[in-house]
Amino acid sequence: MGELPFFRAHTALHPDHLWIWARSVYVDENQRTWLPITIETESSLQVLMRQEDVSLGEAVCPSLLAPCPLPSMWQLYPGRRYRGSDSSFWRIVYHIEFSGKEDMLLEQLPDPEDE
């Protein structure tokens, strides 16, 4: 019986910024594209950002996009979190690289004013 290959995921460097480019496409400062998968539960909102290479057309003005629960821009903040353009904070649950692709799971933190 042969041995199964051992796969290893690596932690990856977080993008400094993610900007909305088109519906369901974000771009980081290195022109890499990220596709969001939104996960809504009763208690939280999460988004899995998957780094996938997609061809970019013209950028779309965020005000022309349909309403979305995600911010149009994220900026990396200290403490493994992002701040959204809507002033929301998102915790980095994990960020891994495997076979040249990256997955980053973000979870929206509660607004301190709502507590």
* Res 98: pLDDT: 86
Residue 91 contacts residue 104 (beta carbons within 8 Å): no
Q: Where along the chain do its domains lie?
A: 17-109
* Angstrom distance (rounded) from CA 104 to CA 95: 4
Residue 19: both structure tokens together = 């900007």
Q: Please list the pLDDT of the chain residue by residue as tens digits (115 residues).
A: 556 565 666 677 899 999 999 989 999 999 999 999 999 988 899 999 999 999 988 888 877 877 888 999 999 999 999 999 999 999 999 999 988 889 999 999 997 665 5
pTM value is: 0.84
Domain 17-109 in CATH 2.40.15.10: yes
Helix (H, G, I), strand (E, B) or coil at 12: coil
* Angstrom distance (rounded) from CA 85 to CA 50: 20
